[in-house]
Amino acid sequence: MQKRTISISFDEYTSLEELNSQDQILCLEAKKAMSNSHSPYSGFRVGVAVQLESGRIVYGSNQENVAYPSGLCAERVALFMIGTTYPDDKIISMAITAQTDHFLIKEPVTSCGACLQVMAEYEKKQSYPINVMFYCLNGAIIRTSGIKSLLPFAFEETRLQK
């Protein structure tokens, strides 16, 4: 047996003002993206803004459905849009934020496992790390460089590629 340790590195900011101007803008764009959330069942709105190498910003928001498994998270909405519309434009950064009227969110909300797996796939596809910011409105921001910090054991099976 061999014991191994995985450590991750991330930056934590106490407010939006601590970020550089480009990251501040991306976080504010993620906040705007929440306005297109379709979340009448949970009341939990999520918005994402994705900065592409070309300078484009692509938006996503969570889209719920009365048949709960039929909905989709904001991150995958944006990433699949990029995959179909701008497949050769590298993803540089993503900002993700959430809000609800039911309670005050006090910490950054992180992506679910399914979204992390999709992020890992896009990062692998482009052979370039994706910076991710989890932005708590009026609160802290967590910033990572690369999806490996968020999902160190992402599913990969190279034999599936032909």
Which one of 29, 64, 75, 123 is the catalytic residue? 75
Pick the CATH number of 21-151 from 3.40.140.10, 3.90.1170.50, 3.20.20.100, 3.40.50.20: 3.40.140.10
pLDDT in tens, 20-61: 999 999 999 999 999 999 999 999 999 999 999 999 999 999
Q: Which residues contact 136 (CB under 8 A, 6 or more apart)?
A: 97, 105, 106, 107, 108, 109
Give the pLDDT score at 120.
96
CA distances from 133 to 30, 88, 143 (A): 10, 22, 4
Give pLDDT < 70 ranges for the chain: 159, 162
Tokens 């910490």 correspond to 107
Told to judge if 156 belongs to the known catalytic residues of this protein, a careful annotator would answer no
